[in-house]
Homo-oligomer: A and B are copies of this chain.
């Protein structure tokens, strides 16, 4: 039996708590970061709070192994005097949307091999995709996630706005969006690239720019140039 303490109230804390409740040979407790005067003992204490609160929260924990779940903060941002590590879930969590934990990449880091093995043992109870990722790599992953998740989602918003300005339902784009993602399972995105930019179809590009307002034009031009010049 391994004992886990989760500190936090956000989406990561809640989803992780639910997942660990179902894991075998795990005892899990979750507390709020607001009221941490008496901190229960645990084999692994997982701090799942906003990045800015990691230092303060960790400084109050005396348990043997303390990890955070942040993609962008290094392991050293933990201020506990005991052992440190990172337990980063590379996924986007929404409040009311259940998620299949077995597919979530879990990126681990620890200051020593023994702690790493403990984290790995825990991670493998949750997911089939466990990676050893050091702080620099994790920062890069977090950055890549901004491109493939945050920015991609924003392009979907623009697509939706274009549809709605033309009395078309956004659902009409859904099959295309799904195929865009499905394609890169078998084809690298470089090879899957299509469209006026990669064809250098200047006439279509000009027609498209004419249909966009200034801010959208800037996105269109920037991405078109990047497609044309490689990256």
Chain A residues packing against B (C-beta within 8 Å) = 51, 72, 90-92, 94, 97, 99, 103-105, 107, 129, 131, 133, 136-137, 139-141, 143-163, 165-168, 170, 172-181, 183-190, 192-198, 201, 204, 207-208, 211-212, 215-216, 218-220, 222-223, 225-227, 229, 231
Contact = CB atoms under 8 A, between A and B. Distances in A.
Contacts of A195: 146, 149-150
A191 to B, nearest CB: 9
A137 B168 contact: yes
A177 to B, nearest CB: 5
Contact of A146 (B157, B184, B189, B196): B196
A144 to B, nearest CB: 4
A212 B154 contact: no
Contacts of A72: 204, 207
B231 A216 contact: yes
B152 A192 contact: no
Interface-centre pick from A99, A105, A143, A219 (highest chain B CB count, 10 A)? A143
A231 B105 contact: no
Contacts of A204: 51, 72
Contacts of A158: 144, 147, 226, 231
